[in-house]
Structure 1
Amino acid sequence: MQAFAEAKRRLGGGVDGLNAAADDNGGEQEEENGQVGADTAKSLEAFVDGKFMTVVMTLLTIFALWGDNIRVALFDKDADNIFYALFAVALFMFVIEFLINTVAKHDYKWGFFFVCVHPLPSIPTLRPKVSRYSMVSKAQDADQEEKLKAQARAAQNAKQAALKRIEASRLGRALSEQTTRRVIIGVLLMLFMLPLLQSSETNQSFYTGLSQIYWFGRSRCNGSSRNASFGCDGMVQQPGSSWIGEAGWKNMLWMYSRSSFRASYYPTHEGYWEGDPPYKLLWLRAPDYTNGGRLKDIVSIESELGVWNQTASCAGVRPSANCPYRDEEMSTYSYSPIECSSDADPLMYGRLGCGKAVAYARFETKSLQQRSNALDMLSTLFVCILLATLSIQFQNDTQKLVIAPIEKMVNIIKQLAEDPLRRPDVQDSEEPRGCGDEKQALNMTAHPTRKFEDEDSSGRPQLETRMLENTILKIGRLLQVGFGRAGAEIVNKSMNSGDGELNIMMPGRCIFGIFAYVGMRRLATLADMLGQDVTVLMNKVATIVHGCANRWGGVSNQNIDNGFLLVWKLESQHDPQLKQELKSEVVLKRSKTADRALFCGMKMIAELQRLLLRETSAIKGDAPFALTSLQSTIAAVDVGIAFHVGWAIEGPVGSDFKIDATYLGPDITRTLALQDLTKVYDAPILTSSKLYFMASVRTKERFMLVDYVRLGESKVDPHGIYALVLAPTTAAPGRLPSTPVTYKLGSLIKPEDLAEVEDNVFVDEFPEYLSTVDVDVTSLIETRGISGPFADTFRRGFSCFVEGDWERAVTMLSQAGSGTGPASALLRYMESTGNRTPKEWDGWHGIHAIDG
């Protein structure tokens, strides 16, 4: 109806509208027909792949393999028709399955299921037609076979020449070698085992006995007349001239009927002819001694040794259909004189009557066929087990060398797509070299460029799949290191997109968090002194900064100018949908995060001091791995850390040529400006009042208010500046305690009396005690911290400075120590105005005023 409505609407547009409507209607009809066909194909495929059909086809496959052997070995001739019907049913089911799979499954034509023609030769009515077709096909293909052989030889030569120019990969070589070994073992097993599972029995007594019976039976024939030849003329020779007597003849025939007995069956006592022979004599046609040597069927024998009777239904050159034995269960032997051989003279052949001079004997060999078919079933079972074993081995090799590594790679990529910041969990893979080794990163020696790893940890050649897996891990690690948490969304969306295009141009999102900027002072001077080794120094500092930030919940973002930007994300407490108790939990969480962030800054200072002490010791010890130029200037390393809290826009910035995941916003700018003040106040750590008031009381005790500064452009935006005031490293280098053997960079070092308390108690539950428990921080404060009198004098002088009484402020700050950072900064600022309080003094000033 929608199509007709659309056509009616387009009718005002003319014939084109009608044609378009018709096209839409036809398209919808074709789409509907295609959907019906797809549903039918899925239904057929589900039917064939169902449990019932799977069981049925498996049973029919087993029957197709062993059915004919079971028919001969376990059943009589009467059951043949049932088996032939089952063979026809099996063939029909195979054809049905093949047709359904061809229709339902894509690219299934000319596939594996064309082997459903296997049961054809087992059906007697189809066997002659198949054989006749095969002979005609061979005759027609004889001429083409030579051409194909010539083409194959040419193609083989070209292939060998091409293979000589191509070096096999390690994966292909390993897979080929394992496959070759298993194929050789399988072929050898078949060569050794199959002859043992074959029944071969040769009994010459049937033929030799028949030749004796022929001549002994004809010995009574009168051959004196002209037309006697081998057929006898019916005249009997004179008594005493024949070779055997009538009783001996009958005994000879009876013994021939039991000639299938083996020699071990013949005991010496009387009655050894008792019992049935292994192979029963069914029919005998030979010269009859008792009938003048005429060639005829011998129906029965009554001798002194026993009685034998012919099986009438199995007699004749062609047994009747009523014969209880199958054709393959009967063996027919014939004998004719040597004069009647195929190369005899035709005239002589006719004159001797060779056409009638043929003796026949037919024996039943059912037990032999049963034994042969039983061994054939064992052979088939052995081949199936061998092929199944080899198939499993081939599958395991392919799974181990190809499929499993590919699945690992796919799993790695999926993990990176789901969580780009989490290192992929690889169960059975080596850790790629050069990833996350902190000790190696802290080594001052500059490593030369390494070649691509060609060997694994055991020294064996590394397969291409392992090399590719390690490469993917390294690429993923580079993505994590390059983009960081801010770029996690970029990596996630790009890797989860279905197309091959990069989805990097996306809007940012607003986040609220703690921002820290760690800057290196006098980096330009160090670059002039160190040259290219300055990057080694920067990487050492970056390892400490990033390691400590990662340990205490922060995220390393990007390198800005001469420093590193760090972020601690916070939950917003201004969500109107949050309940009051939930808002209290958010406030508590933010306080704990603030404590961890400020403690992280103190830990960085301690780790940098430990680096300084270690490298100074290396200089004194003249360690062979030391870089002299770097060690001689390590004392010039000066780091300032600034903390601020606020909001920023997190997202990608760049173009298709280069992109960075970064944070943009005024609070980022304020953080950078605050870090510049660390040079002015000569303080290692500065924090704004917004973060200071967010921290706990015990963390606040480590900081001191040093100034009020307007960080932004607005005049109503003053910030209190709090500093961790320490003496310069060169003035009071101090000593830090030795680290434990299992110590990790930036970890908490507890005193001995708290060694039994788990780290999580301080890290997660009571982070306000971190700065008072950690041995590094406490040692740092004790060795480089300001004394109590200085702090009191500075606070009184700073109060006078804020209130505008600069004369007293100059006096007190000078008494506090003009060589100390915050006091010297305030004195310089007041000196710039002639130590006179400005007219519009509100207790704070601009950020650039004090720098001047």
Structure 2
Amino acid sequence: MMRSSADIADVAFEAAPSWRKRVLVALEGRYMTVVMFIVTVIGLLAADVQMAWVPKSADTAFVAMYWVTFAVFAVECVLLSLCKPRYFLSFFFFLDVISTIAVLAQIPSALDVVVGAQLSTNTNDTLLLARAARAARTGTRASRILRVSRIVRVLRVAKLYKLLLQRQKTGVFFREPNKVAPQQPDKTPTSKRRIVKAHSQKVVEEKQSVVGTRLAERTTNHLAFMVLTMIFVIPLLTFQDTNNAQVLQLTALSDAANGAYNLTQAEFDAAFASFITFANPLGTQEWAVLMVRVAGSSFAGSFSSPDLPAYRATELTSVYINDKTQALFSGRAESQKNAKYSMLETLLVVFVLAVGAFVFIRDANRLLIGPIERMTRLINRLRHNPLSRKMSTRGTTMTNAAGGGELMETAILEQTLEKLTGMLQIGFGEAGTAMIQKNISANGELNPMVDGRRMLAIFGFCDIRNFQEINELLSEDIMLFVNAVAEIVHTEVHRAGGAVNRNLGDTFVVVWRLPEMVSTTAMEAILERHAQAPSADLTEMTGLSEAEQRAVQEAQQLAAQALAAFLRVICSCANPSDRLEALLRNCPPSGGKLFPNNEVSVGIGLHIGWAIEGAIGSRFKIDASYLSPHVNMTARLMAATKQYKVPILFSGQFWSLLPKTPRALCRMLDRIAVKGSNVPISIHTYDVNTAMVMRVSRVAQVSTISVSRSAIERRRSEHKTKSMISKATSDFDNDKFLISLQIGIVRLFKDNFDLGLRKYLEGDWEHAIKCLQVALRFKPNDGPCENLIAFMTKSGSSAAANWQGYRALQSK
């Protein structure tokens, strides 16, 4: 792959010594920018100000200022050539060299100070003075032309406008771009820190792209070249009328001195005096004769004004006839007028360059660079935070300015890319974050088969009951039905901080990733320690560091959110939305058995544990998923809900992670070993009396335990260490909706069931059966009671001699 010279220069700069980088940062920093702006303005306007308003006595100070300006320009040019990539021999390099030479073209006016001291004493040097005056005026014209090149420097220091804009927006002015403030304890409130961080991310995101920078530079180059060409060429094509009256009069006077007109001495003296008077009409001093010398074969005359030493050589107009006849006239008025016009010309050129560059670059940014930069920011956000849902590049669409109302190609490309990134996020989900980040990195090649990563999470499986019969019943409408249920499940899971991993027809796999404030190994060790005393509250463990305590607290809150989310799913399916209810209402009459009272039954399993997160498949098709025995355990728990006839089952590990209040509202059902595992676990449920739940709107069903989607995404993107919700809002006692789920379930039922379960686990099955039968009186048709009684009755109502307090669950 061929690399451009610009890329090679960038690579070379990266390998350059650190002092070059530091010098470049200083040169392009805010302080140096302001200094160069001031020096450039001085270099542009100082000479004209000197000629228009400043007397000759102050020329020495201006000469010193010119030397300082020259030194600053020269040092800057040398340092930029050494330190800045792609600067040496570039367009701006030559402009800077010309700008520096233009300063030198002004410095020779210092000779005027030396020559002026001799004007009043040595009139024999009239020829020398005449030639010096002509040279000075020629140098002035050359200086004026070269000085125009420094106008382009004003665009180089246009960063000052950006500084002022930054000062207006952020209140910060003099801060070096790469200077990092020392770390101080952050005592800012969380909300303010979040705002500051979001603002800083926005500032970083708004950094101009490489293509935008290059286009702005090239636009400025071309515009400056066109303006400078016009400045140089137009004067050459313009006819300038020359006033030859002085030359003609001095020539006539020279002829008279040589006896051409047969004048007497008195007549010659009168003509000589008339020449001096005519050159100074009405005493205006506009073209006053400052010095004249006429010598011929017949007559001679000379005149020297006492004001001559106060004139600069650039303010003198010389007329040379021959070695014996010369004159110096005052050109101060013309010089002052030209200086003022020169200032106006300079300001006009600056205005044209600035406005032209602004207009051209603005149009390029709006039509091309802006969309490219927005698309680049979108890809960068996706690379840095694949879970961010804030992927809109811009709220408005760009249409054809000609009035056709058609979308421009860049706008279509923006919208397409936005949709593709959204589909990429939806398709891969949270499990595909590593794959997205690696494959969208700046130098990454397409490699969907990334390595797996061990992580801790709460896994949830949710399936639709009787799906095979429903599929046959609804036929083509089955997709609408599944998507309506999926909308309920996905909404509640995302609202509770989880992520949907896969949609498997009638089953939805969801994940709540545990916080990564501590390592996965450390968090697993904490959970193993807690498994030794699962009835204790997880947050009351001793010997935890501050980070581990925060991680445990947030993990506990995530468990509460996961349970609450699925409880809302159960009730939303029991009280379906208008969309789902309309679909059920229109199903064939035989569907009444599958959907009694238009209710949709679901089965849910919850478990916590480790898993390997990564891509599964080949280069032809991949799926981002999780592989782990704990994932399989969750699926077994979901399947077991059919045997126990409950809508939700979760493992003892998940139950022990819950806060105290929801744990007390749960009911342990059994102790089992699922198929494929020899490790017994306890299973629990949260009793839901859906018949007593009032039909309320979906908005009213949203529990106070939930958090907004934006807050969830902010937590993911910022990896906040604080809990997403407070204990007060996660208290099930304060949630009227969750409390209403257990209305009608009496305390005596739970007491008798708990006693019967304890006797069952101890092996006293006769006593256990009696207790469970009593419990059935308070809650007829309770699935767990009937399941345990059926199992014990089938085994002869007495435990085997090798009974170990759990049974194997054979079915999947």
Q: Compute the TM-score of the two structures, normalised by the length of structure 2.
A: 0.60
Secondary structure of the 2:89 match is coil
Q: Which residue does 1:482 correspond to in 2?
A: 427
CA distance in structure 1 between the partners assigned to 2:23 and 2:754 by the alignment: 88
CA distance in structure 2 between the partners assigned to 1:585 and 1:109 by the alignment: 55
Check whether the contact 2:490–2:500 (CA below 8 A) recurs between aligned residues. yes
With over 3 angstroms needed to count, the CA separation of the structure-2 counterparts of 1:248 and 1:98, relative to structure 1, is: same
Secondary structure of the 1:643 match is strand
Q: Deviations over 1:749-783 (max 9, x none)?
A: 99xxxxxxxxx99952146742x44343444444x
Asked if residue 774 in structure 1 is aligned to residue 735 in structure 2, the reply is yes
Residue in structure 2 matching 1:596, options 552, 561, 566: 561
CA distance in structure 2 between the partners assigned to 1:74 and 1:598 by the alignment: 84
With over 3 angstroms needed to count, the CA separation of the structure-2 counterparts of 1:61 and 1:676, relative to structure 1, is: closer
Compute the displacement of 1:521 (Å): 1.9
Compute the displacement of 1:602 (Å): 1.3
The code of the aligned residue for 1:736 comes to R
Q: Which has the larger radius of gyration?
A: 1
CA distance in structure 1 between the partners assigned to 2:426 and 2:347 by the alignment: 58
Q: How does 1:125-524 map to 2 (within 5 A)?
A: 231=260, 254-260=273-279, 265=282, 275=283, 277-281=285-289, 299=301, 309=303, 326=313, 329-330=316-317, 332=319, 363-392=329-358, 394=360, 409=375, 411-424=377-390, 429-430=394-395, 474-495=419-440, 498-500=443-445, 502=447, 504-511=449-456, 513-524=457-468
With over 3 angstroms needed to count, the CA separation of the structure-2 counterparts of 1:632 and 1:106, relative to structure 1, is: farther
With over 3 angstroms needed to count, the CA separation of the structure-2 counterparts of 1:791 and 1:67, relative to structure 1, is: closer
Check whether the contact 1:674–1:686 (CA below 8 A) recurs between aligned residues. yes
CA distance in structure 1 between the partners assigned to 2:83 and 2:488 by the alignment: 62
Compute the displacement of 1:836 (Å): 6.9
Residue in structure 2 matching 1:684, options 647, 653, 670: 647
CA distance in structure 2 between the partners assigned to 1:801 and 1:579 by the alignment: 34
Q: Deviations over 1:113-160 (max 9, x none)?
A: 2232453877799999xx9xxxxxxxxxxxxxxxxxxxxxxxxxxxxx
Secondary structure of the 1:372 match is helix
With over 3 angstroms needed to count, the CA separation of the structure-2 counterparts of 1:584 and 1:363, relative to structure 1, is: closer
Secondary structure of the 1:580 match is coil
Secondary structure of the 1:108 match is coil
Compute the displacement of 1:486 (Å): 3.5
Q: Which residue does 2:696 correspond to in 1?
A: 737
CA distance in structure 2 between the partners assigned to 1:84 and 1:600 by the alignment: 80
With over 3 angstroms needed to count, the CA separation of the structure-2 counterparts of 1:773 and 1:296, relative to structure 1, is: farther
With over 3 angstroms needed to count, the CA separation of the structure-2 counterparts of 1:92 and 1:630, relative to structure 1, is: farther
Q: Which residue does 2:571 correspond to in 1?
A: 606
Check whether the contact 1:651–1:662 (CA below 8 A) recurs between aligned residues. yes
With over 3 angstroms needed to count, the CA separation of the structure-2 counterparts of 1:105 and 1:85, relative to structure 1, is: same
Compute the displacement of 1:744 (Å): 8.4
Compute the displacement of 1:642 (Å): 1.6
With over 3 angstroms needed to count, the CA separation of the structure-2 counterparts of 1:408 and 1:50, relative to structure 1, is: closer
The code of the aligned residue for 1:525 comes to E
Q: Let me know the Cα RMSD of the aligned residues.
A: 6.3
CA distance in structure 1 between the partners assigned to 2:665 and 2:32 by the alignment: 78
With over 3 angstroms needed to count, the CA separation of the structure-2 counterparts of 1:78 and 1:822, relative to structure 1, is: closer
Compute the displacement of 1:641 (Å): 0.9
The code of the aligned residue for 1:258 comes to T
CA distance in structure 1 between the partners assigned to 2:77 and 2:724 by the alignment: 70
CA distance in structure 1 between the partners assigned to 2:241 and 2:770 by the alignment: 129
Secondary structure of the 2:278 match is coil
Q: Compute the TM-score of the two structures, normalised by the length of structure 1.
A: 0.57
Compute the displacement of 1:736 (Å): 1.7
Compute the displacement of 1:299 (Å): 1.4
CA distance in structure 2 between the partners assigned to 1:685 and 1:380 by the alignment: 81
The code of the aligned residue for 1:280 comes to A
CA distance in structure 1 between the partners assigned to 2:802 and 2:350 by the alignment: 100
Q: Which residue does 1:550 correspond to in 2?
A: 494
Q: Deviations over 1:643-696 (max 9, x none)?
A: 234443344434444443333222222221121122233321123344345545
Secondary structure of the 1:724 match is coil
Compute the displacement of 1:84 (Å): 9.2
With over 3 angstroms needed to count, the CA separation of the structure-2 counterparts of 1:77 and 1:375, relative to structure 1, is: same
Q: Which residue does 2:625 correspond to in 1?
A: 662
CA distance in structure 1 between the partners assigned to 2:422 and 2:646 by the alignment: 35
Q: Which residue does 2:94 correspond to in 1?
A: 114
Secondary structure of the 1:611 match is coil
Q: How does 1:571-650 map to 2 (within 5 A)?
A: 571-572=523-524, 573=526, 579-580=542-543, 592-612=557-577, 615-616=580-581, 635=598, 637-650=600-613
Check whether the contact 1:549–1:556 (CA below 8 A) recurs between aligned residues. yes
With over 3 angstroms needed to count, the CA separation of the structure-2 counterparts of 1:383 and 1:744, relative to structure 1, is: farther
With over 3 angstroms needed to count, the CA separation of the structure-2 counterparts of 1:613 and 1:561, relative to structure 1, is: closer
Compute the displacement of 1:789 (Å): 7.9
Asked if residue 559 in structure 1 is aligned to residue 503 in structure 2, the reply is yes
Compute the displacement of 1:714 (Å): 5.0
Check whether the contact 2:289–2:329 (CA below 8 A) recurs between aligned residues. yes
CA distance in structure 2 between the partners assigned to 1:109 and 1:676 by the alignment: 73
Q: Which residue does 1:525 correspond to in 2?
A: 469
CA distance in structure 2 between the partners assigned to 1:328 and 1:631 by the alignment: 109
Compute the displacement of 1:552 (Å): 2.9
CA distance in structure 2 between the partners assigned to 1:333 and 1:629 by the alignment: 121
Query: What is the percent sequence identity of the aligned residues?
Result: 25
Q: Deviations over 1:340-378 (max 9, x none)?
A: xxxxxxxxxxxxxxx99x999864333222322332233
CA distance in structure 1 between the partners assigned to 2:334 and 2:659 by the alignment: 99
Q: Which runs of 5+ in 1 are unaligned?
A: 1-32, 132-170, 222-230, 237-244, 266-274, 289-293, 301-308, 315-321, 335-354, 433-452, 751-759
The code of the aligned residue for 1:108 comes to Y
Check whether the contact 1:595–1:767 (CA below 8 A) recurs between aligned residues. no
Check whether the contact 1:551–1:746 (CA below 8 A) recurs between aligned residues. no
Q: Which residue does 1:764 correspond to in 2?
A: 726
Q: Deviations over 1:314-352 (max 9, x none)?
A: 9xxxxxxx9977487326498xxxxxxxxxxxxxxxxxx
Q: Deviations over 1:474-526 (max 9, x none)?
A: 55544443344444344445555754454853243152x43321111222333
The code of the aligned residue for 2:453 comes to G
Q: Deviations over 1:444-480 (max 9, x none)?
A: xxxxxxxxx9799x99766666666655555554444
